[in-house]
Amino acid sequence: MSDHIFGSGLQRAELARRTGCNLETIRYYERIGLMPDPPRTAAGYRVYGASHVSRLRFILRGRELGFPIEELRGLLSMVDEHDYTCGDIHAMTTAHLKSVRDRIRDLQRLERTLSGIADKCSGDAVPECPIIDEMLGE
């Protein structure tokens, strides 16, 4: 079928197109259990439905927000089991936010260090390089 649609379901390529997700990424999410196995047609084709589209969009948005796979797995489990409160999700989100802020501080510290090292270098075609000296600890 050239339109990649089977009855009320979609083939993986159409799921990828509709969500903007790479085919290999969908395969990966299936392999690690973030995406449930879709039903198959009699011919063995996978058939994805609206719930797969929603779940994949949830995963993609979570990744855009920087949630690690294991945290997403936890969120999805809570959603799947209808075992969460807004407070639970808020606690996970604020913990993730703290982690993001910590990484930003680390990156800012790294930027200052690299900038200071780069400022010591003339960039000329000379054999001595203060950047290498700094990295060697000299």
Q: Is 10 exposed, middle or buried (0-12, 13-18, 19+ CB in 10 A)?
A: buried
Q: What is the pTM of this model?
A: 0.79
Q: Is 35:59 a contact under the CB 8 Å cutoff? A: yes
- Residue 1 is predicted with a pLDDT of 38
Share of the chain above pLDDT 90, in %: 74
CA-closest candidate to residue 92, choices 108, 105, 73 = 73
Q: Tell me which H or E stretch contains 78.
A: helix 69-80
Q: Is 33:70 a contact under the CB 8 Å cutoff? A: no
Fold of 1-67: Multidrug-efflux Transporter Regulator; Chain: A; Domain 2 (1.10.1660)
Asked if residue 6 has pLDDT above 60, the reply is no
Distance separating alpha carbons of residues 105 and 32, to the nearest angstrom: 31
Query: What residues contact 32, with CB distance under 8 A and at least 6 apart?
Result: 69
- For 56-66, what is each residue's pLDDT tens digit? 999 999 999 99
